[in-house]
Amino acid sequence: MKLNQTLRSIFAIGLLAGLLGSCQKPFHEKTEKYYFLAANTSLPYWQEAQAGFMAAAKELGVKAEFDGPASYSPDEELADFQKAVERHPSGILVSPARPEMFKSAIDAAVKSGIPVICVDSDAPDSARVLFIGTDNFQAGIESGKRIADILHGQGRVAVIMIPGQLNLDERMRGVQEALKKYPGIKIARTLDDKGDPRIANDQISALLEGKDEKNKFDGIVCLEASGGPGAAEALHRLNLDGKIPIVAMDKNQETLDYIKQGVISATVGQKPYTMSFYGLKFLDDLHHNIVHEFKDWRTAPVSPLPARVDTGTAVIDSTNLPAFQAAQATHAQP
């Protein structure tokens, strides 16, 4: 009899605990949703960022939407950002193509209570809470040093970028800083490929096929992802594989293939998966006000989170390409 009473008591306690547990409010609401606005969703770079963003959303159990123009278009990206703000999400990650264009929109979003974090490209004069991405100045220094070493400190260099995009301007500044130590290296031309490998291909081809000596160059530095494959295709078409060194940016498959073929000498790889994965987690912390340095992040006089997170870079060339690709093969694909 006593045994039955004991069992009934244990059952009752377990039932009560279960009922109390079921009454607890879940940490994440079903209505929570986060957005990521990228500058050019067709690029493998941003597809890798999307994978990190969605992986973090799955881990946290929240909704997430990745959006942005399919080609480089600051106006379209800004319009997509504003549409996301109108839905009043739990938070937004954005890579502003033109920081001055996005400032007022970011300020308005944060003022309305939506945390905004800049990823890859910053809008430092806006009210964004923090920046997470590459230290672009250091990435530029790495690119400049690498091309200077390959050219043994002598030669003329063509730089492919998108002028006016803050992260790329910072990389250009880093290249210029690095080349101060190599007085024999000069920047011959700065090209704007608008994030399109076809434009990079056309521009490099025109310079190579032209007769103007002022446009001749001995090496190429690409400060955004599309430039490397575009320039490499131009060299390959003109049977110049390996004759003009290319230091590319990022680690999309085309770039890695051209390194294997000896057309691209090296690439400075970034970590877009890491940027977006932790970017969403930071947004989630802000939405739930996890960091209690201040009562609420919205009224905090300074950001309760790190002001800047450097996700780092890795230089990939023929010496470490096999190891890098082997590691990639074991990584779960999105």
Residues 82 and 144 occupy one common structural domain: no
Residues 252 and 173 occupy one common structural domain: yes
- pLDDT on residue 303: 84
Residues 278 and 186 occupy one common structural domain: no
Greatest extent of the chain over all pairs of C-alpha atoms, in Å: 105
Please state, in angstroms and rounded to a whole number, the distance separating the CA atoms of residues 234 and 198.
9
- Number of domains forming the structure of the chain: 2
Q: How confident is the prediction along the chain (334 residues), in pLDDT tens digits per residue?
A: 444 554 454 444 444 444 444 444 556 777 899 999 999 999 889 999 999 999 999 999 999 999 999 999 999 999 999 999 999 999 999 999 999 999 999 999 999 999 999 999 999 999 999 999 999 999 999 999 999 999 999 999 999 999 999 899 999 999 999 999 999 999 999 999 999 999 999 999 999 998 888 889 999 999 999 999 999 999 999 999 999 999 999 999 999 999 999 999 999 999 999 999 999 999 999 999 998 888 888 888 888 899 999 999 999 999 999 999 888 776 645 4
Angle, in degrees to the nearest 10, between helices 136-150 and 166-179: 40
Residues 144 and 238 occupy one common structural domain: yes
Residues 257 and 301 occupy one common structural domain: no
- The boundaries of the domain holding residue 164 are 136-269
Please state, in angstroms and rounded to a whole number, the distance separating the CA atoms of residues 212 and 199.
20
- pLDDT on residue 304: 87
Exposure string over 201-232, b if 16+ CB within 10 A, otherwise e: bebbbebbeeeeeeeebbbbbbbbbbbbbbbb
Residue 137's Cβ-count burial label (10 Å; 0-12, 13-18, 19+) is: middle
**pTM, 2 dp:** 0.82
Exposure string over 8-18, b if 16+ CB within 10 A, otherwise e: eeeeeeeeeee
